[in-house]
Amino acid sequence: MTSDPNFRALTGIAAFAMLALTAGAAIASEFERVRPVTHAATQKECGECHMAFQPGLLPAVSWTRIMDGLQDHFGENASLPADTAAAIRSYLTQTAGSGDGRLIRITEQRWWLRKHDFEPSIWSRKTVKAKSNCEACHRTAAQGLYEDD
């Protein structure tokens, strides 16, 4: 029974799948990948004041709330012409990720907090300045590649 070639092939495939899975997990823990920003207006407008965060970093509900509140964007007026704002809104919500839609800060999402559980003094370093400054530590963050270090 166990020497049935079909069964042997199946166990082979299963073993290979397991291997691929673990290898994948290992790679992912060194280098988290998020789909990079591919929308020119989003890149330009968000990127004037901070790194243009990838849509996958927040759920659609959060992006909608951010785009609803540009007049008071974390304390600043960041308003945009209506047509530009509409194009950015649809790009962000259509390519959004998952997470807690009640939170509009990426840095308050549970997954983010879990990965950034270190001394608070790091955030006040001159080269870091803000939690939102991903690139201070993740040099390739703008391309959606977040290396663990």
Count CB neighbours of 123 within 10 A: 15
Residues 67-79 as b/e (b if ≥16 CB within 10 A, e otherwise) read beebeeeeeeebe
Separation between Cα atoms, residue 140 and residue 118, nearest integer Å: 21
Interface stretch with other proteins, choices 34-42, 45-53, 96-104, 138-146 (CB under 8 A)? 45-53
Footprint on this chain of ligand HEC (rule: CB under 6 A): 48-49
Q: Which is nearer to other proteins, 75 or 120 (CB)?
A: 75
Q: Which is nearer to other proteins, 34 or 51 (CB)?
A: 51
Cα 122–27–54 angle (5° rounding)?
A: 60
Asked if 61 interacts with other proteins (CB under 8 A), we say no
- Minimal distance, residue 49 CB to ligand HEC, in Å: 5
Q: Which is nearer to ligand HEC, 48 or 117 (CB)?
A: 48
Q: Where on the chain is the footprint of other proteins (CB under 8 A)?
A: 48-51, 75-81, 127-130, 132-133, 136
